[in-house]
Amino acid sequence: MSRPLPTLSSLINRLLPTTQLSRPLPPRAAHPSLTPQISSLQLHPSLEAALHILNADLPSAHFLVRHMQAPPAVEGMLLHAILHRCEGDFANARAWAGDVRDACEGWIPKHRGEKKLGDETVKKVRGGEGVEQSLMDFVYEGGADGFSKLIDDVEKFRNMSIKRKEREEEAIQKRIKKEFDCILEWCVKKFGDHSWLDATSAFVKDSEEIRKISNNMVSGQDGWRRF
């Protein structure tokens, strides 16, 4: 008997209950066989990237989020921040979190109080039908401050003693699972769970600041990008 084809729901039900994103991740995906299954659904790149992160497959997720590093792709930007948090690169996680906060509040990232996003971009930053909150407010209790606190708490957790980690892990894992549950819900409401045959329609052009940072990470003073 052939196995049933994977669906978004079946993959979420497989990955979300068992994901371990509070701890440093292994060098390979938690379930390597799920990587092609996730890709085969041809979901919106934000949904696909979220599933890859849940599967601890950061290279596959990074391939997608690097094409969504500027407004209106706030979902990809948020996932980029989470990816860095998973890597233990907390400084970059906070930097991306700041960019998402700026965009969700109508500012060009890194130019808060100086340059506003265009009206069309602001419209595209918003959620799907019936969603009144910004992405940050939809996903985190306390909005952007809630996300910053989660980054801080994951960093503190990783520096705890083994005994204290055993006491604290369940609570922080619960928060991370709620985070992803909300991100997935937001993306389905906004983009649907159907196939996006042309994923490039979801990609955006990087800002000049992001292009400079990316070039430094690949070949400049910041060295090679690490996974």
Q: Report the SS3 class of residue 116.
A: strand
Does 108 map to a domain?
yes
Sequence letter at residue 119: D
Is residue 217 a part of any domain in this protein?
no
| 15 domain residue, yes or no | no
Please enumerate in sequence order all residues whose Cβ is within 8 A of that of 133, keeping only pairs 6 or more positions apart, or say none. Answer: 127
**Can you state the angle between helices 74-87 and 162-191, rounded to 10 degrees?**
160
Q: What is the pLDDT along the chain (227 residues), one digit of tens a residue?
A: 567 789 999 999 999 999 999 999 988 999 999 999 999 999 999 999 999 999 999 999 999 999 999 999 999 999 999 999 999 999 999 999 999 999 999 999 999 999 999 999 999 999 999 999 999 999 999 999 999 999 999 999 999 999 999 999 999 999 999 999 999 999 999 999 999 988 888 999 765 554 554 444 333 444 432 32
Inside any domain, residue 84: yes
Residue 68 lies in a domain: yes
Strand partners, 167: none
Host domain of residue 162: 43-192
In-domain check, residue 61: yes
Residue 139 belongs to some domain of the structure: yes
- Domain count across the chain: 1
**Cis peptide bond upstream of 59, omega within 30:** no
Query: C-alpha dihedral over 165, 85, 217, 211, to 10 degrees?
Result: -170
Q: What is the dihedral of CA 42, 10, 73, 102, to 10 degrees?
A: -170
pTM surpassing 0.95? no
